[in-house]
A and B are shown apart, each in its own frame.
Chain A
């Protein structure tokens, strides 16, 4: 009802303002008379409407009486006092004066205390609407029902944003990532190292993702990523890739996280494949942290160090069990890992968890250049022996330049490199069944440069290197040293879709068991995102 009145008042006011505008320019007297008549008529209408409004207001005030003490500040501020008193169209300022108030765009500011959490339409806000004459119909016609924007609908933690004007409790998005692949090796699944990489010649759909996020309550946020993966025989696997809660306002710059989540190790590991700049996983990541990356059920605490630059310490702990804890308590395929029959035992103590510390720092070198660098570790037990341990260390650096006149985030240059080293104690397996115990020292790195040269267009180049210690006791293909060079070109029609063409050249080294060879592969990746997808971190 209030809205109707508002619209009526405004249209009346606008019509009268039109009259005034016309009056300001020299006009013939019949026109003037006609306009005067109009103004008179409109003034009458406005008066009538005002009476209605007053009645309405009385009702609203009554309803609001109980909230009045909290909703209004006890002392009216000088600002509030300085607010203009509502003036009716009839007593509008002289026609030559340019208006300095416009109730059609600004609701009563004085009656909306900034501290008010009110998410509804403030009745006072609409009550004074229409006191200022304006000639513009676009505001009314374009916003016929929901007229006043209120607080809390924006990007916030406690009031989640989402499609449909912030009326949803969470962001819901759906992401489909597909690839058409060709490789000179017919076993592409033995060339690509990541579980969401293309695994066969032809079409691949290995990362179709449902992502949910939002505020749980004033204390927590929740996230979930459910991945549907079509295997080479088109059967659907479902993975709960991530599902975790996170605190929003712990004191002392602390944050806690719990659930199933990607370990904060390095840069590529916590990222979802759809954010990756290449079609496939860097080799060292897939080999040392596993095809699925290091993720699992656990908890994490992080602390922003109170220094002038960005510095964060993170400590995570996860079960590290199964294939998503690849180098840790992983029973392996068919109970074998590096040819050892695995123990697959239960947790004995804190040492069997994977402990994942990280320290990351970032500075702005210039207003257009940012560097983010970190060191990470992952320490735990593995299943190849009763006391076998694994330690992984990582160092990563990310640099980005973005033009001060960037449109849509372009142009930019990004450079990202990661180094990882793994010390893996391969024991003698369950019941000392394997002939020898070995300690493997494996390491690798990748480095990539992305150049966003034009809005929507990115060219990239990446080099990969992986050095696995040669062993005469295991013929595992994961222990084949190799290197790779990749180049790609991506077109983002918008931030919700992309098309990417990539070429890979792989060099696989000869080992005691495996022959050396070269492999060429080409991928055409395409992606779409539906719904409200949460924004990504830097």
Chain B
């Protein structure tokens, strides 16, 4: 009798699991939007960080533990961007499904060659990430790779819908490939130009489109701009004829505006995350916006 009950429950359990939507947690909104592209209405997704806040300093709020406890899939950066808040959440979530190495854990940096890997790790250089610059999703080619890993994970865990996820990946890949021609053409006239950014979040974007985002308002990553450093930046901007300063939603825009006033540059509001600036509800619309805003400023 017991055995029959057990079998019954197993069947019930598996059917329930098979028909339930995948619970997906993404640490950051860029991973969340890629997961939506792949998962569509077959997944329920929770994104932990807000698109407007500094991804280095997100509070490890207890409600996140609940989301992680229920997660079938966790997508994180894997490159220490979330180092200050994800580990204590995972310690408390006690969910073996999302351990590293399980199909339920997608680490976006997998297979990505990180840029600016420090050869010598010292905090005297500011908030330097030992594994390399973790702000990589803004490169559309890298986004495709992340989306592919997400699709592989979803397809493994929800094999009934594997074809759906794979089709969505193909659609996403095709739209990125097509869009890249457009974006590339938009940025083509500005090859080699220098652009200022508040924080060093844009090496991958710059690399993709052949511009140099290599002057920063922060003297060192994470260190607030000092007057003497800003004077230096203004000098550099004049000598390199820099026309744009990139700020993100959580940066102090006033500092950028002050620098812009004394150099006739334009302040361009950028975001690494879909939703961080208005009209960017998907990954493609975000890159669209970034490219058009930057092209406008550099004209």
Contacts and interface: CB of A to CB of B under 8 A. Distances in A.
Interface stretch (B6-14, B51-59, B238-246, B279-287): B51-59
B130 A166 contact: yes
B21 interface: no
Contacts of A309: 63, 66
A104 B204 CA distance: 11
A408 interface: yes
B161 interface: no
Given A138-B203, A158-B100, A408-B222, A363 B79 contact: no
Interface stretch (B28-36, B174-182, B227-235, B260-268): B174-182
B84 A535 contact: yes
Contacts of B86: 155, 535
A221 B180 CA distance: 45
A105 B141 contact: yes
B76 A115 contact: no
A409 B60 CA distance: 11
B60 A109 contact: no
B112 interface: yes
B88 A534 contact: yes
Interface in A414-436: none
A107 B184 CA distance: 22
Interface string B89-118: 011101110011111011101111111110
Contact of A310 (B62, B76, B79, B183): B62
B110 A404 contact: no
A406 B53 contact: yes
Contact of A102 (B53, B99, B141): B141
Contacts of B116: 138, 142
A114 B110 contact: yes
Residue among B54, B56, B79, B142 with the highest chain A CB neighbour number at 10 A = B54
B197 to A, nearest CB: 14
Given A143-B115, A246-B91, A114 B249 contact: no
Interface string B113-135: 11111000101001100111000
B160 interface: no
Interface string A225-259: 00000000000000000000011111001110000
A360 B92 CA distance: 13
Contacts of B113: 104-107, 139, 143, 147-149
A155 B224 contact: no
B201 interface: no
B87 interface: yes
A120 interface: no
Interface in B163-196: 163, 166, 169-170, 173, 176-177, 180-181, 183-185, 191
Contact of B131 (A100, A109, A166): A166
A535 B87 contact: yes
Contact of A143 (B82, B105, B117, B176): B117
Contacts of A116: 101
A110 B145 CA distance: 9
A79 interface: yes
Contacts of B106: 114
A367 interface: yes
Nearest to B90: A157
A405 interface: yes
A113 B110 CA distance: 10
B220 to A, nearest CB: 10
Nearest to A156: B100
Contacts of B223: 494
Contact of A537 (B76, B79, B92): B92
Contact of A370 (B61, B155, B176): B61
Interface in B267-299: none
B162 interface: yes
A98 B182 CA distance: 8
Contacts of B173: 82
Residue among A79, A312, A455, A495 with the highest chain B CB neighbour number at 10 A = A79
B59 to A, nearest CB: 6
B42 interface: no
B88 A143 contact: no
Interface residues of B, number: 95
Contacts of A404: 50, 52-53
Contact of A161 (B59, B83, B141, B203): B83
B224 A406 contact: no
Contacts of A154: 76-80, 100, 107, 109, 131
B59 A400 contact: yes
A488 interface: no
Residue among B99, B126, B151 with the highest chain A CB neighbour number at 10 A = B99
Nearest to A108: B111
Contacts of A156: 87, 90, 99-100, 105
A536 interface: yes
B232 to A, nearest CB: 20
B88 A112 contact: no
B99 A138 contact: no
B258 interface: no
Contacts of B117: 142-143, 146, 165
A119 to B, nearest CB: 9
Given A79-B152, A98-B184, A100-B141, A152 B84 contact: no
Contacts of B88: 534-538
Contacts of A155: 76, 78, 80, 82-83, 86-87, 90
A349 interface: no
A149 B102 contact: no
Contact of B60 (A139, A221, A538): A538
Contacts of B163: 78
Given A142-B115, A151-B107, A154-B78, A407 B252 contact: yes
Contacts of B148: 79, 109-110
Contact of B250 (A312, A407, A456): A407
A367 B275 CA distance: 15
Nearest to A308: B66
A99 B176 CA distance: 11
B163 to A, nearest CB: 7
B150 to A, nearest CB: 8
A105 B137 CA distance: 11
Contacts of B56: 408
A447 interface: no
B130 to A, nearest CB: 5
A486 to B, nearest CB: 25
Contacts of B60: 535-538
A340 to B, nearest CB: 41
Contacts of B79: 149, 153-154
Contact of B63 (A78, A104, A152, A370): A370
Interface of A: 21, 77-79, 82, 97-102, 104-110, 112-117, 122, 125, 135-136, 138-139, 142-143, 146-159, 161, 163-166, 218, 221, 246-250, 253-255, 304, 308-310, 312, 360, 362-364, 367, 370, 372, 400, 402-409, 455-456, 494-496, 534-538
10 contacts: A79-B155, A102-B141, A108-B111, A138-B207, A166-B131, A246-B91, A249-B94, A304-B65, A367-B50, A496-B123
Given A151-B110, A407-B57, 10 more contacts: A79-B152, A98-B181, A105-B139, A105-B207, A143-B113, A157-B100, A253-B94, A304-B66, A309-B66, A404-B53
The 10 nearest A-B residue pairs measured at CB: A98-B184, A154-B78, A117-B101, A409-B57, A362-B62, A310-B62, A249-B96, A156-B100, A100-B177, A407-B250
